[in-house]
Amino acid sequence: MNKNGVVLLLIFIFAGLCLMFTGRVMGADRTLYFGNGYRLEAVSGLVFRNSATSGEIVSVDKRQLPSFTEIDIRIVDMDIQFQPADNYGIELSYTADRDITWEVKKGKLIVKDNTEIFQQVTINANSRAYDSYAVVYCPTDKIDKIELNTVSGKIEIEGYHAKSIVAETVSGEITLRDCESDRQRVKTVSGGIRQENCGSDDIYLESVSGSIYHETEFQANLHNIRLSSVSGSMLVNGEPVSRSDYDNWGDRNAPYKLSAETVSGRIELWFND
């Protein structure tokens, strides 16, 4: 297609979108039709899906996978959960307009969302038109490395031991309970972080505007603590503290390192003191 043809096509697409949204307001058909049978349906706001598959749910339930010691999941709006099991498996649920791939390769479970960017455009990044999730089945003490990344999905891990745990979201909540590891990195922009009874030599918690809650059975003097906040509040065992009180506070040779940073979120730490 030459340059003039491309320009003409873009004009027709723009005109079609205008007519489609006008028709939506008037209660008319909300579908934009292209050649070769392809069509886009306005679902909500500026969300578009291939209307031929938008209502279908894809379910994957594989409970007898080859064993793996590493987990790498990078998806957009699916919740991520872990289920203790003697076997290794993955359970997925999502709509058919998403391009989700998964495999076990060289001892690593890899789950990835390959959906085209234009299919993910939405006015409200926090809203999801459907519930979708990924559940990992594996032993609690056979995993070396866990890396999880989602935009608006929630992340929940409980009772797992690994050398390294990394969890990141944009707006999704992150919850870790009774997790042991040499290193833990938990980051979010506006989602909340909740960490309960997690033992690690090195814990780093970071948010922009989301809250950070950390509760441990260990005493505060066993930690090298670093807190940082621009405008958010900070509490230790229920008592407000200033940045100067806990900036690089504690024994630098203490067995546990704990860092919590936020811009405008709330930091709340509880120790067994």
| Mean pLDDT on 5-20 | 51
| pLDDT at position 17 | 52
pLDDT band at 18 (very low <50, low <70, confident <90, very high): low
| Mean pLDDT on 76-104 | 93
At 45, list the tokens: 């706001």
For 126-178, how does the pLDDT look when each residue is reduced to its tens digit (9 = 90+)?
A: 334 467 899 999 999 999 999 999 999 999 999 999 999 999 999 999 999 99
| pLDDT at position 97 | 80
DSSP character string of the chain = --HHHHHHHHHHHHHHHHHHHHHHHTT---EEE-GGG-EEEEEETTEEEETTTTT-EEEEEE--PPP-SEEEEE-SS-EEEEEE-SS-EEEEEEETTS-EEEEEETTEEEEEE---GGGS--S-TT--SS--EEEEEE-TTS-SEEEEEESS--EEEES-EEEEEEEEESS--EEEES-EEEEEEEEESSS-EEEES-EEEEEEEEESSS-EEEE-SS-GGGEEEEEEESSS-EEETTEE--HHHHTTBS-TT-SEEEEEEESSS-EEEE---
| Mean pLDDT on 65-70 | 97
pLDDT at residue 182 tops 50: yes
Which of 17-26, 98-107, 229-238 has the least mean pLDDT? Answer: 17-26
CA–CA separation, 129 and 47 (whole Å): 9
The residue that leads in pLDDT, 95 or 101, is 101
| Mean pLDDT on 74-84 | 94
Residues sharing a CB contact under 8 Å with residue 164, sequence separation 6 or more, in sequence order: 144, 145, 146, 147, 181, 182, 183, 184, 185
| pLDDT at position 33 | 39
The residue that leads in pLDDT, 142 or 42, is 142
Given phi > 0 = left and psi -120 to 50 = alpha, else beta, which region is 106? left
| pLDDT at position 96 | 83
Residues sharing a CB contact under 8 Å with residue 186, sequence separation 6 or more, in sequence order: 165, 166, 167, 168, 174, 176, 193, 195, 203, 204, 205, 206
| Residue found by looking up tokens 């064993």 in the block | 67
DSSP character string of 14-39 = HHHHHHHHHHHHTT---EEE-GGG-E
pLDDT band at 242 (very low <50, low <70, confident <90, very high): confident
For the entire predicted model, the pTM comes to 0.76
